[in-house]
Structures are given as structure tokens and as C-alpha cells.
Amino acid sequence: MTVDLRVISMGALAAHPLRGEKGELRPSHLTTIVLTIEDRHILMDPSLPGKILVDRLRERSGLEPGDITDVFLSSFRPEGRRGLGLFDQANWLISEREREAVGVGLVEAFQEAESAGDRDLAATVREEIGLLQRCDAAPDSIAEGIDLFPLPGVTPGLSGLLVAMPQWTILLTSDAVPTIEHLEAGQVLAPCADIESAQESLREVVEIADLIVPGRDGLVPNPLRQW
């Protein structure tokens, strides 16, 4: 069974450190992808704001928000889920490890805000907890030919998706491999929750994948493969 992969929006870093950029030069957002298999449309990282994402989805795939059956979040970072509310009818998925790690931190933040009497902060954290609770733990197999691929490091439970094609294997890496330049230089994104884990995840990517979709770029061949 063939998986159709469509890049909906190519991501970007606010400043690209390997080009000598500093500061906030542009809005930071993740590459957004739709994977279609039979009657399922799986959207990975709805990073753009609502209206912009709707327009890109129509332009690149002909799909409407209501056509999306599943949303997969590679992590729970806010910049990767700006458009999440568009897909309230879909199943929301995130790795169990990310869900648990984020959940512990949110509960602690909520308790601290309540103890300090900061009602606004407590309300904001409560809303985040509600969003996280709405996300189910992603199974090892999202669909036939689409598997969860843990890539911890940038966040504790960051995960990509491994897509098995007849001719090759494609790995959607999110920020485990942020850009082509990071891939070629063998560098990970900073800051990281755990730099050693991030470096190990990068090594796994280049060992496993024939083709790679970095978190802030489009589809590229693995530079270490003999083509």
C-alpha cells in the first residue's frame, strides 16, 4: 500500500546559525506535512497560524481542515502547533514519552502559579494541560507503512515518522535534523534538552533513512548514501 507524502509548508529558523545569522530575522516555524493512505490524511506539525495553514493545505493538497483524520505532533512546543485548533475533529497524537515529560512540567508550573496566587498564569497553564490531555499517546504504527520513530534530545520525547516506500525509506525528522546544513555538518539544534541524546538521534537518522525531511527544510537525499 503506497503512502502519498506532501509537504504543505516548508519551515524556517528565526535565525540560521550555520549561515551566521543572529537575532529574530523571520517567523520560526516547522515543516508541515500530510501523509495520505487510503481514506486517512495524517497531518504532521500544524505550525503555521490558522488562516495561512488553511490556504497552504488547499494549495498543496486540495484538502480542507475537516478532511484531516489525524494530527501528529513531533513535540509539544508551541511553535509546532499554532494551527492545531483547526483540526478539532481529528485524532491528536504525540509520543507517550513527550506527553509524560511535558505533563510533569505543566503540573509543577500550575501548582507554583496557584501557590503564588498568579491566576492569569495558572489559567494559561491549565489551558496547556487541557491541550496535552486531548492528545493521545501515538502507537508504534500510526498506519500501514507509517511508524513512530523516537528521536529524543531537542525535547525529551521528540519523535519523527518513518515512512516505508517500495523503493526507499523516508524519515520525517522534525528538529532532530532541523536543516540541510545541520545534516551535512552533523550538528544538532541548540538549545537541547539533552545534547548527547540529540546527537545520537542524528546518527540514527543518517543510518536508517534513504530520504530525509528535516524540520525546517524539504525532502533531501541522505548525503551518506551511495546513490
**Tens digits of per-residue pLDDT, 149-174?**
999 999 999 999 999 988 899 999 99
Torsion sign, CA atoms 124, 11, 198, 168: positive
Q: How many domains does the chain have?
A: 2
Q: What is the mean pLDDT of the chain?
A: 95
CA distance 162 to 141: 9
Q: Does residue 62 sit within a domain?
A: yes
Same domain (yes/no): 62, 114: no
Report how far residue 76's alpha carbon sits from residue 203's, in angstroms, rounded to the nearest whole number: 23
**Is the same domain home to 22 and 77?**
yes
| DSSP-derived pairing of the beta strands 70-73 and 211-214 | unpaired
Are residues 105 and 160 located together in one domain of the fold? Answer: no
Is residue 185 in some structural domain?
yes
191 cis-preceded (ω within 30 degrees of 0)? yes
> Is 90 exceeded by the pLDDT of residue 223?
no
Same domain for 89 and 13? yes
Q: Are residues 89 and 179 in the same domain?
A: yes
Q: Quick one: 83 and 174 in the same domain?
A: yes
Domain encompassing residue 87: 4-95+138-217
| Domain end call among 80, 105, 137 | 137
Residue 120: enclosing H or E segment and its boundaries?
A: helix 119-134
Work out whether strand 40-44 and strand 70-73 pair parallel, antiparallel, or are unpaired: parallel
Regarding whether 31 and 129 lie in a shared domain, the answer is no
Do residues 171 and 68 both lie within one domain? yes
Residue 223 in any domain: the answer is no
Q: What is the pLDDT at residue 227?
A: 55
Same domain, 73 and 160: yes
Q: Could you read off the pLDDT of 17-64 as tens digits, one per residue? A: 999 888 889 999 999 999 999 999 999 999 999 999 999 999 999 999
In a domain, 127, yes or no: yes
* Average pLDDT, integer, range 134-146: 96
Contact predicate 38/77, CB 8 Å: no
CATH number at residue 179: 3.60.15.10
Does 222 reside within a domain?
no
Does residue 184 form part of some domain?
Answer: yes
The verdict on 167 and 85 lying in the same domain is yes
When pLDDT is cut at 50, 70 and 90, the band that residue 225 belongs to is confident
In a domain, 224, yes or no: no
Amino acid at the residue 222? N
Domain match, 82 and 123 both: no
Is residue 168 in some structural domain? yes
106, 122, 137: which is the final residue of a domain?
137
pLDDT, tens digit (0-9, with 9 covering 90-100), for 165-211: 888 999 999 999 999 999 999 999 988 999 999 999 999 999 999 99
pTM of the model: 0.95
Same domain, 18 and 130: no
> Which of 137, 167, 198 is where one domain is finished?
137
Question: Long-range CB contacts (< 8 A, 24+ apart) of 48-52?
Answer: 48/9, 48/82, 48/83, 49/82, 49/83, 50/82, 50/83, 50/85, 50/86, 52/83
- Torsion, Cα 100 102 108 112, to 10 degrees, reads -160
